[in-house]
Structure 1
Amino acid sequence: MENITLQPAKAEIIKQAKAYITALFEEKLPRQLVYHSPKHTATVVKEAKALGEAAGLPEADQEALVLAAWFHDAGYTEAYAGHEYRSMELAATWLRQQGYPEERIRLVQDLIRATCHTEKPETDLQRLLRDADMSHMGREDFFANAELLRTEWEVMLGKTFSNEEWAEMQLDFLTSIKFYSEAGKARYKEQFKENIKAQRELLKKAEKKKKKKQEEEAGNFAEGKRGVETMFRATYDNHNTLSQMADSKANMMISLNSVILSVLITYFGAKTSTLGASTFTRNPILAVPMALLVATALGSVVTAILSAQPDVTSFKWLKKSPQVATNRRVNLLFFGNFTKLSLDAFQEGMGELMANKDLLYNNMITDIYYLGDVLAKKYRLLRISYTIFMVGLILVAFSFAIVLLYKS
C-alpha cells in the first residue's frame, strides 16, 4: 500500500518542481549563463533519473535525487559564486511550502551540497547526483559544452583563455576528476576515455600551432616581414613628405620677405621720389614702422633660410674605433656617415649588415632617428620665422596707426 500511494505523490511533486524551476529560470536566470542554462539542468535531471534507475534506488530516494537535480543550479538566479548554498535555501523554502517532510528536505539539501566541487560526496545518493552534474565529461557533447562554459566565464568572470590555455586546462580537469558511483562509471566510462584522448590531441594541435607561430615571429626579419617593411616604408615616406612641406614653407617665406626687402631697399635708395628721402625729413617718426618692417623681413628670411639650408648629420670616425657596423651611432645607409669611411671599411660594414638582421634594422632605425632630428630643427626654425613675421607685421601695423594718430 505504501508504494501505491507514494508513486502519485512522487510524480506530482517532481512535476511541480519542474514547473517552478522552469518559471524561475525564465524570470531570473541571467541570459549570459549559456552553459548553466535550463538545458543543462534538464540534462542533469535526465542523467540523474537514468543513474538512479541503473542503481536500483527505492522510489523515495529516486524522488529526492530528481528533486535535488532540479534545484541544484537554482542559486544561479541570485549568485554565481557559491550558488549551491543559495540553491539549498531555495529548495528548502519551496519544499516547505509544498508540505514536504523536513527530514526529506534535509536530504535534498545534502544532495545539492554534494554538487559543490569543494565537497566530497559521501553517500550513494550524493555520488549519483555528483556524477549526473558532471556527466558532460563522459558524453559526446563534451566539447560543445566546454566552449559554452568558456564563453560564460569570459562574460561572467572576465576570464579569457587562448586556445592552448583552454585545451591544457580542460585536459587537467578531465584527468583530475572521476565518476564516483558504479552506475556513473559504467554509463560514462568509454566516452570519458574518448574525450580525454581527443582533448590530448587538441592540446597537441594547439601547442604545435603556437610553436609554429613563435617560429614565424622569431624568423629572420631581414628576409622581409611585410609588417616591418610596411612600417619602415611608411616612416620614410612620412619623413620625406614632412621635409618637402618644410622646404616649401621655407621657400615661401624666403620669396615673400625677399620681395619686401627688395621693395624697401629700392624705396630707400631712390634719390628722387614723390615720397622719397624728403618724406622722412618732414616726418622722421615714419622711420619707426619702416625700421620694424625691415627688421621683421630680415629676421623672418634669415630663419627661413636656415630652415631650408641642407643639414647633413655626420660622425667622427677613427681607425682605432671598433667595427663601424656595430657602432649604434653610425648609419651606413646615409651618405653623411659612410662618406667619412674608407671604401674598405664601408664594404666591410655593408657586408656585416647584409648578414645580420639586427645590425641592418639598427641602421635603418638610426637613419630614421637622424631624419627626425633634422626635421625637428627645420620645423623649429620655420616656426620662429613665421612667428617673427606675424609679430613683426602686428607691430608695424600698430606703429603706423600710432603715426597716423600722432599726425592728426
Structure 2
Amino acid sequence: MIAQETSLLQQTQIYAESLLKHLAVDYTYHNLSHTRAVVAFANEIADHEKLSDTDRETVLIAAWLHDVGYKEGCDNHEANGINIARPFLEKQGLSPKRIEEIEACIQATKMPQNPQGKRLPEILCDADLGHLSADDFLERSEDLRQEMKHTFEKISKKKWRKKTADFLENHHYFTHYGKTVLEPRQLANLEKLRQQLGDDDAEDEPKHGKHDKDKSDKDKSKHHKEQKDALNELSKEPDLPHPLSESKPADTVKKERKPERGVETMFRLTSANHFQLSSMADTKANIMISINTIVLSLIVSILARKLEEWPILTIPTVMLAVTCLVATVLSVLATRPNVTSGFVSREDIENKTANLLFFGNFHQMGLSDYEWGMRRMMDDSDFLYSSMIRDIYFLGKVLGRKYKLLRWSYSVFMFGLVISVIAFGIATYMSK
C-alpha cells in the first residue's frame, strides 16, 4: 500500500489504470500488474531512503505513469508516456519544475537505465527492475518472454534463460536499499535460473555411442554457433521493449560498473605520492625555518651588540638578517594552512560538484548531512571517482603553491647567504 495517500496520487492512479486496462493483450508483462508492482517497490525503497513527502509523491506519480506510453506501442514508449502524462499533470496544477522531475524519472527508465546520479530517478529505476529480486521472478520472466514472442520475435526458453542470466550477472541497483537488500535476492534468483540452465544442458546431452563422438561434437559446435549468432542478432535490435534486449554488452557493463583494478591502483598510488610530496615539503620548510631562526637569534644576540665597535659590519649584518627573515617568512607561508568554509550544500551534492573526501569541505557540516552525502557518493560510481579526481587535482594545486614558495625561500637563502658572506669578507678586508 502507498504510504500517506494523497489526492494527487489517487487521481494519478485512476488515470494510469484507465489507460493500462485497455492495453493490447499481447503485453503480458508491461501491463497494469507490472505498474502496481513498480509502485509497491518504489514505495518500499522510498521508506528506506527516507524521502520527504513531496519527493515520495513525485516518485510514485512517475511510477504510475512510467509505462502508459505502451498505449501507443512499445517503440520509444518512455517519450510517448511523457507526452501522454504532461497534459494530465498540467491539468492537476503541478509546477513546471515538478513536471520536469517526474519526466526525468520516467525517461531514466529507458534501457540501458541512466538516472544520471539523481536520487529520484535512481529510485524509480530500481523499482522498475525490482522484479529481478522478487519471489515470482521466474514467472514474471516467462511473462516477458511471451510478450516478446507476440510483439517482437519468438525466442526459445533456453535462449531466453541464457540471455536473462547474462543480464542478471551484470545488473546492479543504484540505491543503497537496492544494493543491500534487493541485490542479494537478485543473486538468489540468478542461482535458480542457472539451475534451470543446467537442467536444459543435461537434456541436450548427445546420446550417441562412442563411434558417433566426432559427429556429435561437430553438431554440438554448430548448435552453439547458431545459438550465439541468434543471441548476437537479437542483442543488435535497437528498439526492443525489454531490458535484456537493450542492455549493453557484458564486458562494457562490467567496465562501467566495476573499473579495472589498474584504475583503483592509479588513484591509490597517486594519492600516496601526493601525500608523500606534501610531507617532504613540510620537512623542507621546517629545516629552513629552524636554520634561519637560529641565525637570526645569533645576529640579534651577538652581532648587533658588536656593531658599535665594528660599524663597517652593519651593511653585511643587515643583509644577512633580511635574508634569513625573508627565507623564514616564505617557508612559513608554504606551510601555513588555508581556512575554508567547511560546508557544502545538498544542492552541491545533488549536482555532484561537492568534494566530501577533503576535511576542509565538510568540517562545518552536520553528521546526518555528511553521512547522507557520503552514501550518495558511494551509490554513484561516477560521483565517487569524479570526487577522487577533484581531490587529487586540488591537492596538486596546494603542492604546487608549497613548492613554489619553498623554491623562493631556498633561492633567497642561497643567494642572500652568498652575498652576505661576500659583504662580510669585503668589510673585513676594508677594515684592515
In the superposition, the TM-score normalised over structure 2's length comes to 0.46
In the superposition, the TM-score normalised over structure 1's length comes to 0.49
Larger radius of gyration: 1
